[in-house]
Structure 1
Amino acid sequence: MNSSSSSRAVSNLGRLLGCLQTPFTMSHPFPNPNPNPNPKPNPNPAAVSAYYQTRAAHHAVVTTDWLAQAQAAVGFPPSSPRDSSSSASGKGAAVVPGDNGSFSVIAVFNEWRKQPDLAEAVAAIRALAAVIRSSEATTMMELEIELKKASDCLKSWDATSISLTAGCDLFMRYVTRTSALEYEDFNSAKSRLIERAEKFGEISQKARRIIAMLSQDFIFDGCTILVHGFSRVVLEVLKTAAQNKKLFRVLCTEGRPDRTGLRLSNELAKLDVPVKLLIDSAVAYTMDEADMVLVGADGVVESGGIINMMGTYQIALVAHGMSKPVYVAAESYKFARLYPLDQKDMAPALRPIDFGVPIPSKVEVEMSARDYTPPQYLTLLFTDLGVLTPSVVSNELIQLYL
């Protein structure tokens, strides 16, 4: 190579290196592997999910004072309580058209929610039944439009609640299967709709008891059950087992940050059930003591997996690695038409977290309230439709939504 060629090669190499050192500013779909280590705090943080406001109102261990302190710890302004005149979307009162502003489905929903043992989805189902009873529509089309508006308003009350959305959708499918053409007049058709709405509400309200009865064959004398956080259907299963004089022991996680597992341990202690309270990070350490894992679910998705309280996924992973069965207790009104592919493939439900110490503004806090557990880590699902394998869930969803 002559000297001129060598000079051009060196010059070209220099320009190439210069280009590589120049910041790459083109917009592209790949995430930056070296994000800004000192990001500015979000000036408009998202509101805490209504799911956790409901938990604060219903669970004795969690108080509204705790909620306000936790929100302050992460820089949230204290949330104003949800009243019957507004929805989460800020669209105002959920007044059913045609009632001259006299009926609010959110108000009825909130009245039902005051019952601490009633699930949010069942409260919504009861509120939708009230919409049909109070409607002044004169045709089936008008009635269905009113019902759809009320359902959409309830779902917007907390868009992050999977069971609330699924319960409203299932109610609409179940009730509107009745055709107006089957009856001679509108009043007969409306009466049939009211009858179906009441029946669906009763079935949903009894679901927890049905699950408790179906699951008893899987709880044997001398077994140790690991549970996570607080679930009313899991408590019903364990309460029924205790009433049946079964001898078992429970390992109960604390359920940080809102300590719902502490409440479950208190309830079990009242039943004279031997219980050991664990910190959440001690699950792997104590898994060899457990014979099974029993958890609830915020939602059951089409893949057969579940969306539940944060930490459920890692518990299922540990149990799977140690060949322990993982059972899920979930009502059928939590069956949702969702198919998440990974942990981030769902709308986030945020929760307040109080670490007990000031958190620097440059420190990012993970506030996601739930995770997704894929079906391969679950053994069986105890539902009011029967004891199902994860692979059967898709078929059941098809039947429910037909």
Structure 2
Amino acid sequence: MRLGGPQSFLLSPSTSATSEVGVLMSQRSSEVDAVVREFHEALARSSDMAVAVAAIQALTTVIKNSSAQTMMGLEKELKDAAASLQNCNPTAISLKAGCELFLRYTTRTSAIEANTFAAAKKRLIERGQHFAETSKRARATIAELGERFVRKGSTVLVHGHSRVAIAILRKAAAAGKQFSVIVTEGRPDETGLTMARVLEEMRVPTTVILDCAVAYAMERVDLVLVGAEAVVESGGVINKLGTYQIAIAAKEHNVPVYVAAESYKFARLFPLNQRDLPLERKQLDFGPLLPASVAIDNPSRDYTPPQYITLLFTDLGVLTAAAVSDELIQLYV
């Protein structure tokens, strides 16, 4: 999913554009409701719909329904809509990355060359639809690439409920490969149990362990396969809490760690430690035996530095962690 060059199709401010901005301001409330509604409806239509792809579809609808008469007005509508979507979940990194990449892809590439605004708008809609379709196909592309690394007789350790990791394992099973999976289960979201049910339906031999038993089980693991909420500029990944400790245990046992992630999850972030992550915590109830004065800290995600990642399976190809920064430059510049 490579993007175009750095040029921007923007018109100089004019009287009509200024007055148009005023009209758009008065319509903002209804437009915000519309884009957020379209976003949630897209997620509701399919349980496999990625958050970023739903956002891309909603933003494309904004272009279709826009009453703007200039590129300046349309770009403002898109930016306001993207901000509204991000406000739905301010800590969702993949949502923010998807919105930013969509805006870059549609409104700031040299491919938008037209003599009239109507023609430019039509081209924007086409590019938005193409972006959404390419994003949807990303998972299938990654499955084709990642399946090759699942060998017959191997034991795969997975963590969390990753749709793209499932696609890889499903592809490997469909190819007739016999392999087994160890699934980690941690509180409070039960994603491990969800993953185990999916694998059972695929008839893949599956064992569930507590996530605190990872180091104990690692000596019988051949590869670790995880998804990612975001791939950051260093080539490290932000993912479900526990990914970091799994990667450390895997490195100690010389077990490769593979990360499966769509390119719309590439984020312009450079965390140096766990405190640099957007704050997101989940409720956790230990019951009445826990003293009321004891604090509970349950972050939902952690950061795994690039030195613990063997390869990344993406729709841009199989990448080393060191190659991620180059791909980010090509995506955003």
* TM-score normalised per structure 1: 0.74
Where does structure 1 lack aligned partners over 5 or more consecutive residues? 1-94
User: Alpha-carbon deviations, 1:351-383, whole Å to 9, x = none?
Assistant: 111224453331111121110000000000000
RMSD value, Cα = 1.7
Greater helix share, structure number: 2
Match of 2:165 among 234, 243, 248: 234
**Equivalent position of 1:101 in the other structure:** 30
Q: 2-side partners of 1:326 and 1:254: how far apart?
A: 18
Structure 2 CA distance for partners of 1:242 and 1:360, relative to 1, 3 Å? same
Letter in 2 for 1:322: H
Match of 1:145 among 70, 76, 89: 76
Work out whether residues 292 and 324 of structure 1, in 8 Å CA contact, stay in contact via their aligned partners in 2. yes
User: By how many angstroms is 1:234 displaced?
Assistant: 0.7
User: Alpha-carbon deviations, 1:27-63, whole Å to 9, x = none?
Assistant: xxxxxxxxxxxxxxxxxxxxxxxxxxxxxxxxxxxxx
Report the structure number with the largest CA radius of gyration. 1
SS at match of 1:182: coil
**Equivalent position of 2:9 in the other structure:** none
Work out whether residues 112 and 123 of structure 2, in 8 Å CA contact, stay in contact via their aligned partners in 1. no
Letter in 2 for 1:348: L
Q: 1-side partners of 2:138 and 2:123: how far apart?
A: 23
Work out whether residues 106 and 127 of structure 2, in 8 Å CA contact, stay in contact via their aligned partners in 1. yes
Q: 2-side partners of 1:386 and 1:140: how far apart?
A: 34
User: By how many angstroms is 1:202 displaced?
Assistant: 0.5
**Equivalent position of 2:201 in the other structure:** 270
Question: Is 1:347 the equivalent of 2:282?
Answer: no
SS at match of 1:355: coil
**Equivalent position of 1:311 in the other structure:** 242
**Equivalent position of 1:247 in the other structure:** 178
Question: Is 1:112 the equivalent of 2:42?
Answer: yes
Q: 2-side partners of 1:181 and 1:328: how far apart?
A: 34
Q: 1-side partners of 2:25 and 2:43: how far apart?
A: 19
**Equivalent position of 2:20 in the other structure:** none
Q: 1-side partners of 2:297 and 2:30: how far apart?
A: 42
Work out whether residues 225 and 292 of structure 1, in 8 Å CA contact, stay in contact via their aligned partners in 2. yes
Match of 1:258 among 189, 213, 232: 189
Equivalent pairs counted in the alignment come to: 308
Work out whether residues 112 and 124 of structure 2, in 8 Å CA contact, stay in contact via their aligned partners in 1. no
User: By how many angstroms is 1:254 displaced?
Assistant: 1.1
**Equivalent position of 2:123 in the other structure:** 192
Where does structure 2 lack aligned partners over 5 or more consecutive residues? 1-23
Work out whether residues 274 and 302 of structure 2, in 8 Å CA contact, stay in contact via their aligned partners in 1. yes
Match of 2:219 among 288, 291, 296: 288
**Equivalent position of 1:172 in the other structure:** 103
Question: Is 1:205 the equivalent of 2:136?
Answer: yes
Q: 1-side partners of 2:204 and 2:140: how far apart?
A: 19
Following TM superposition, the consecutive aligned residue runs of length 4 or more in structure 1 with deviations greater than 6 angstroms are: none
Letter in 1 for 2:293: K
Q: 2-side partners of 1:382 and 1:397: how far apart?
A: 15
* TM-score normalised per structure 2: 0.89
User: By how many angstroms is 1:206 displaced?
Assistant: 1.1
User: By how many angstroms is 1:205 displaced?
Assistant: 1.0
User: By how many angstroms is 1:348 displaced?
Assistant: 1.2
